Amino acid sequence: MSIYKSDIADNSGESVLTEKAESAERSRAEAAIKESEEKFRGMYESIKDGIVFLDLDLRVLDANRAFLDMHGYTLSEMIGVNLMEITPKKWADIDREALKRLMRDGDTGIIEKEHYRKDGSVVPVSVRVWLRKNEKGDPIGMWAVERDIAERKRGEDMIRMSERKFRGIFESIRDGIVFADLHGRILEANKAMLNMLGYAQAEMIGIHLSDITPAKWHDADESALARVMKEGDSGEYEKENIRQDGVIFPVVVRMWLMKDEEGIPNGLWALVRDVSEKMSSEQEIKKRMSEIEKLNRFMIGREERIIEVKKEVNELLRKMGEQPKYKV
């Protein structure tokens, strides 16, 4: 009997030890899960991009702090809101196509659109949505990463505005303007330059500056180019140009060096004035010189500002994990 009692006691002890071990293992697993969830929640709430979880009807289930701040809602206000309710109607077609891609490929890819804030204002956003599935592979919802791209859009708008302003001056100034590469091939010319030489824009592109200059002035051009490369500015000098119909006429030219964002020379631009008919008064001369100086100041300031804005836009894109848009 004593032997059996001993056996029973031993088995009972092993059972208790096993239960304790299993309980300890469960506790460790639960602690690990809790720690993992806390880490995820910390990342989820601290990340700068907005993150939102949706059901298959596009109703919000959860959103992080960045998403809520972006739209001006609290979490309790945001839960249950349909994403279509905060999207301007003009984006409906883009959203429909994105949802088709989502259900087909599991991912919308990056799309740019707009959302309404709680106060009714509009914020431009970059959005990417992924499909969520259960263990069987059935769709159960979606999650999205959203970025506020308002600052980037403002930078791009500034660049476009500067381009329009430049284009207006470029086409309206009465003197000829020509852009060329460092080899002297013409890249673009304004209307005054085209009219002066009798070419269309398409005909002008690719012509070498020497082709519109009599041979006797080639040395003067070479000397001017050397000054440009050394000092950035040729100063005014007189020469002649050749019209498309062969007529030769006198001009006054001034060239400037163009540089890229790193300060490396990448081209030339020149102001060309037809002096076939002498200007009638000193006042007219001063007016022309004022126009030239104004254009030169604008060109320098424009290039510097555009470079800065492009750098700012690129930095924003890098922060958002996207490739820089401009080569700077």
pLDDT at 164: 77
Domains within the chain, CATH numbers bracketed: 23-148 (3.30.450.20), 154-319 (3.30.450.20)
* pLDDT score, position 1: 45
3 state SS of 176:
strand
Q: What is the pLDDT, as a whole number, of residue 313? A: 64
Long-range residue pairs from 3-9, CB within 8 A, at least 24 positions apart, any chain: none
Which of these, 176, 192, 309, lies nearest to 254 by C-alpha position? 176
- Dihedral (CA of 93, 98, 100, 101) sign: positive
**pLDDT of the residue at 4:** 44
Whole-number pLDDT of residue 47: 80
Contact 273, 252 (CB under 8 A): yes
pTM over 0.85: no
- Of residues 308, 319, 312, 309, the one with CA closest to residue 147: 319
| Residue 110 · residue 127 · CB < 8 Å | yes
pLDDT tens for the chain, residues 1 to 328: 444 444 544 555 566 556 666 666 666 655 555 555 555 555 656 688 999 999 999 999 999 999 999 999 999 999 999 999 999 999 999 999 999 999 999 999 999 999 999 999 999 999 999 999 999 999 999 999 999 998 888 888 787 777 777 677 777 788 999 999 999 999 999 999 999 999 999 999 999 999 999 999 999 999 999 999 999 999 999 999 999 999 999 999 999 999 887 889 999 999 999 988 764 455 566 666 666 666 666 666 556 666 666 666 676 666 656 677 767 6
Kindly tell me the number of DSSP H helices and DSSP E strands found in the chain: 9, 10
